[in-house]
Chain A
Amino acid sequence: MATKIVMEALSPTMEEGRLVSWKKHEGDAVKTGETLAEVETDKAVMELVAREDGVLRKVLLAEGATVPVGALVAIVGGADEDLAGLLGGPAATAPPQGSGVRGQGARPAIPAAARPAEAAPAPARPESATPQPLTPDPQPLRVRSSPLARRLAAERGLDLRLVPGTGPAGRVIKRDVEAAGTAPARAAAPALPTRAPTALVPQAPAGGFRDVPLTTMRKTIARRLGESLGPVPHFFLTSEIEMERAWEARAHLAGRDEAYRVSFNDLIVKAVALALRQHPAVNASFLEDRIRYYGDVHVGVAVAVEDGLITPVIRHADRKGLLEIAAEAKGLAERARARKLVPDEYTGATFSVSNLGMYDIDDFTAVINPPEAGILAVGRIAQRPVIVDGAVVPRRTMRVTMSCDHRVVDGATGAKFLQTVKLMLENPLAMLL
């Protein structure tokens, strides 16, 4: 029996997906578990897999197109089954999050219960045989225009969509832009709201500009961080930490055996994890009507990837040794850069660390990744003048700034947490206590 393949929620925060490429084509036989297509979610490129044996009968989404979760993208069925009923009907309900997805790495087998495609029979609906638009058109309104008209419009800050085109097929040409520029009243096309054309597009900068459509990841970053710094009341605590002992300890370890090499960031993750264990008030989330304090400590580590960033999670970091943290952090960062992380690997952090020391940043503030209640922004380690016993001496120090969600963490709470972090990093032996 034919089943509908819908855009599945392949990550917890995914609201829409971009079909990167079809791995099967119309007419190809497919087996349960085989990859049908690659889908770019807000975080990674994932695989959409078949839940049933059959033939890929119909592909309804072009490569490169983006549709919301739940939209019908293909139909798998018998080789010569009549699909008229299915094509006309509504899309099947989106399956539960995460099901039907197989990341590049290890993934638990999909439980039989989570195979909703089989439970979505196609009702006999003879009246709906007429094909209907299945998905909204993802393309923005296209404006035909001559290159010169585009340049003139950009120079004048005119939105070409508001300029009626008088060329062939409505092409906007030079005279149209000139007419629009001298007679603003004409500039409002009937189908669009009447407002000053300049209000839609900022004045073009003299040096020219380049508009780049948002990638799915960039959209998610924008939305998520907008949800943070606006609604989440941030405050910031900065502390300078002396890193001489940490420096020595790390150098000593690496000197003994290359296998003992850990990064400063691994040390910081470990210290933060232990401090979170000691200060459960910081290992928490604000949930509108309550605060949730977590029993486990999971530390997110921000990783820059091409055109964005992602925060893979080192779970139970408080219970892991430095070498274990180092190995895990390295592996996750590599997989993040290859965009191969699966949702389990970048969700569920209870606190995050963002380190820009390698970019020569002295100190900075980071934006909290909700629902976490804090994030530690780490600057570079540098020799700075420090006063010891009345004398100025050079010391390796590092500045950290903690962003706190004031709904959960108060100034003193955050400060005490930061004191613990400082104590551990200045005296690495304290991590053994």
Chain B
Amino acid sequence: MAVLTYRDALNQALREEMARDRNVFLMGEEVGVYQGAYKVSRGLLEEFGPMRVVDTPITELGFAGVGVGAAMAGLRPVIEFMTWNFALLALDQIVNSAAKMLYMSGGQVPMPIVFRGPGGAALMLAAQHSQSFEAWYAHVPGLKVVTPATPADAKGLLKSAIRDDNPVVFIEGEMLYNTKGEVPEGEHLIPLGVADIKRPGRDVTIVAHAKMVAVALKAAEELAADGIEAEVVDPRTIRPLDLPAILASVRKTNRCVIVEEGWPFAGIGAAVVDGIQREAFDDLDAPVLRVTGADVPMPYNRQLEKLAKPDPAKVVAAVKRVLYVG
């Protein structure tokens, strides 16, 4: 199996889907001539031409709206946001148009559109460019929210997202683009809504998605040195959420820690905890704990930024608390 970067895995998915279906096209800022701000669309303009790889002005609301219109007309647009921070400008098109079109047209107008780009914090980009918005989109009925953590997941999930007839919010990670992993060639599809056990274990369940999967795996390694076997469950899609997979793990381990990069209030973990306490109450031996980004705008100071983000040490500490050790 080929070892690819996360960015090349996404590139492969786009290329394969554009080759497979001529209705698929890519649109966004710098996706064509510049080959993508993060080089995800490298080579696509050359291969598919300017009709299918469309550079846009800096007008998020505008090109998101063009994408929604194209989807209504029968195309399958992939709209790239340079980052999800900029997509705030397009929120009306995503939430009010894309998410509701199929519903409000009584099923007559389809909305097979993918909005994609990097989310979460990179490094020292300050408060306005270091935000995780998956909880915002997951809140909206009608949207699917996908957050791949590995190159293989990135490819398999993007291909499924493009083929999905619903609007999909596809959140990548700037810090993930260079990570490498084995990626199956060709027709590699991962269904939306299916979690993946990234590491099996018996003592505690760690639920983590996107960039936090790596943090959880690092924590699990450190815990293993202490004889604690953590199971890392990556939901991969936030909505639909694979709650049964999380419950199955919690029923086995009786303890759970949820890690997310975003803010704590009304975050992804809050929804996961809700499901666990309701469905697995009698299997819990400890309260479910969450490790989240600090409840502040991201500080523009290296040390404070480090403190504001979840890291393996924080996850290890939370795991030890639910295990009543240390």
Chain A residues with a Cβ under 8 A of chain B: 146-151, 166-168, 173-175
- Verify A149–B324 contact, CB threshold 8 A: no
Please name all residues of chain A whose beta carbon is closer than 8 Å to the beta carbon of B285 when the two chains form the complex. Answer: 146-149, 173-174
Separation in Å of the B57 CB from the closest CB of chain A? 56
Separation in Å of the B254 CB from the closest CB of chain A? 5
Query: Across the two chains, which residue of chain A brings its CB closest to B282?
Result: A151
Q: Identify which of A146, A150, A166, A167 gathers the most chain B CB atoms within 10 Å of its CB.
A: A146
Separation in Å of the B283 CB from the closest CB of chain A? 6
Separation in Å of the B305 CB from the closest CB of chain A? 32
Please name all residues of chain A whose beta carbon is closer than 8 Å to the beta carbon of B282 when the two chains form the complex. Answer: 147-148, 150-151
- With A147-B283, A151-B282, A173-B286 known, 20 other A-B pairs at CB within 8 A are A146-B284, A146-B285, A146-B286, A147-B281, A147-B282, A148-B254, A148-B282, A148-B283, A149-B285, A150-B282, A151-B283, A166-B324, A167-B286, A167-B324, A168-B324, A173-B285, A173-B324, A174-B254, A174-B285, A175-B324
Separation in Å of the A166 CB from the closest CB of chain B? 7
27 of the cross-chain contacts (CB-CB < 8 Å) are A146-B284, A146-B285, A146-B286, A147-B281, A147-B282, A147-B283, A147-B284, A147-B285, A148-B254, A148-B282, A148-B283, A148-B284, A148-B285, A149-B285, A150-B282, A151-B282, A151-B283, A166-B324, A167-B286, A167-B324, A168-B324, A173-B285, A173-B286, A173-B324, A174-B254, A174-B285, A175-B324
Give the distance in Å from the alpha carbon of A46 to the alpha carbon of B286 in the complex.
44
User: Which B residues, 275 to 294, have Cβ-Cβ distances below 8 Å to chain A?
Assistant: 281-286
Please name all residues of chain A whose beta carbon is closer than 8 Å to the beta carbon of B284 when the two chains form the complex. Answer: 146-148
Interface size class of B (residues with CB under 8 A): under 10
Give the distance in Å from the alpha carbon of A173 to the alpha carbon of B286 in the complex.
8
Give the distance in Å from the alpha carbon of A147 to the alpha carbon of B286 in the complex.
8
Give the distance in Å from the alpha carbon of A78 to the alpha carbon of B192 in the complex.
72
Please name all residues of chain B whose beta carbon is closer than 8 Å to the beta carbon of A146 when the two chains form the complex. Answer: 284-286
Please name all residues of chain B whose beta carbon is closer than 8 Å to the beta carbon of A167 when the two chains form the complex. Answer: 286, 324
Please name all residues of chain A whose beta carbon is closer than 8 Å to the beta carbon of B283 when the two chains form the complex. Answer: 147-148, 151
Separation in Å of the A359 CB from the closest CB of chain B? 37
Query: Across the two chains, which residue of chain A brings its CB closest to B251?
Result: A148
User: Which B residues, 36 to 50, have Cβ-Cβ distances below 8 Å to chain A?
Assistant: none
Query: Across the two chains, which residue of chain B brings its CB closest to A154?
Result: B282
Query: Across the two chains, which residue of chain B brings its CB closest to A166?
Result: B324
Give the distance in Å from the alpha carbon of A167 to the alpha carbon of B285 in the complex.
10
Give the distance in Å from the alpha carbon of A315 to the alpha carbon of B36 in the complex.
97
Proximity string of chain B (284-320) to chain A, C-beta cutoff 8 Å, 1 when within and 0 when not: 1110000000000000000000000000000000000
Please give me the 5 A-B residue pairs with the lowest Cβ-Cβ distance, nearest first. A148-B285, A174-B285, A151-B282, A146-B285, A147-B282
Please name all residues of chain A whose beta carbon is closer than 8 Å to the beta carbon of B324 when the two chains form the complex. Answer: 166-168, 173, 175
Proximity string of chain B (246-284) to chain A, C-beta cutoff 8 Å, 1 when within and 0 when not: 000000001000000000000000000000000001111
Please name all residues of chain B whose beta carbon is closer than 8 Å to the beta carbon of A148 when the two chains form the complex. Answer: 254, 282-285
Separation in Å of the A350 CB from the closest CB of chain B? 53
Please name all residues of chain A whose beta carbon is closer than 8 Å to the beta carbon of B281 when the two chains form the complex. Answer: 147
Give the distance in Å from the alpha carbon of A149 to the alpha carbon of B282 in the complex.
8
Give the distance in Å from the alpha carbon of A167 to the alpha carbon of B322 in the complex.
10
Separation in Å of the B260 CB from the closest CB of chain A? 24
Please name all residues of chain B whose beta carbon is closer than 8 Å to the beta carbon of A147 when the two chains form the complex. Answer: 281-285
Separation in Å of the A286 CB from the closest CB of chain B? 52
Separation in Å of the B287 CB from the closest CB of chain A? 8
Separation in Å of the A49 CB from the closest CB of chain B? 45
Separation in Å of the B257 CB from the closest CB of chain A? 15
Give the distance in Å from the alpha carbon of A248 to the alpha carbon of B285 in the complex.
68
Separation in Å of the B21 CB from the closest CB of chain A? 49
Query: Across the two chains, which residue of chain A brings its CB closest to B287?
Result: A146
Q: Identify which of B254, B283, B285 gathers the most chain A CB atoms within 10 Å of its CB.
A: B285
Please name all residues of chain B whose beta carbon is closer than 8 Å to the beta carbon of A174 when the two chains form the complex. Answer: 254, 285
Give the distance in Å from the alpha carbon of A175 to the alpha carbon of B324 in the complex.
10
Query: Across the two chains, which residue of chain B brings its CB closest to A148?
Result: B285
Separation in Å of the A368 CB from the closest CB of chain B? 45
Give the distance in Å from the alpha carbon of A408 to the alpha carbon of B22 in the complex.
102
Separation in Å of the B130 CB from the closest CB of chain A? 34
Separation in Å of the A290 CB from the closest CB of chain B? 59
Separation in Å of the A272 CB from the closest CB of chain B? 53
Give the distance in Å from the alpha carbon of A168 to the alpha carbon of B324 in the complex.
8
Separation in Å of the B293 CB from the closest CB of chain A? 26
Give the distance in Å from the alpha carbon of A346 to the alpha carbon of B324 in the complex.
57
Separation in Å of the B280 CB from the closest CB of chain A? 9
Please name all residues of chain B whose beta carbon is closer than 8 Å to the beta carbon of A151 when the two chains form the complex. Answer: 282-283
Give the distance in Å from the alpha carbon of A173 to the alpha carbon of B322 in the complex.
11
Give the distance in Å from the alpha carbon of A148 to the alpha carbon of B254 in the complex.
8
Give the distance in Å from the alpha carbon of A168 to the alpha carbon of B326 in the complex.
12
Query: Across the two chains, which residue of chain B brings its CB closest to A177?
Result: B285
Give the distance in Å from the alpha carbon of A150 to the alpha carbon of B283 in the complex.
10
Query: Across the two chains, which residue of chain B brings its CB closest to A168?
Result: B324
Query: Across the two chains, which residue of chain A brings its CB closest to B284?
Result: A147
Please name all residues of chain B whose beta carbon is closer than 8 Å to the beta carbon of A150 when the two chains form the complex. Answer: 282
User: Which B residues, 146 to 201, have Cβ-Cβ distances below 8 Å to chain A?
Assistant: none
Query: Across the two chains, which residue of chain B brings its CB closest to A151?
Result: B282
Separation in Å of the A180 CB from the closest CB of chain B? 14
Separation in Å of the A169 CB from the closest CB of chain B? 12
Give the distance in Å from the alpha carbon of A150 to the alpha carbon of B324 in the complex.
17
Query: Across the two chains, which residue of chain A brings its CB closest to B281?
Result: A147
Give the distance in Å from the alpha carbon of A289 to the alpha carbon of B322 in the complex.
67
Separation in Å of the A355 CB from the closest CB of chain B? 44
Please name all residues of chain B whose beta carbon is closer than 8 Å to the beta carbon of A168 when the two chains form the complex. Answer: 324
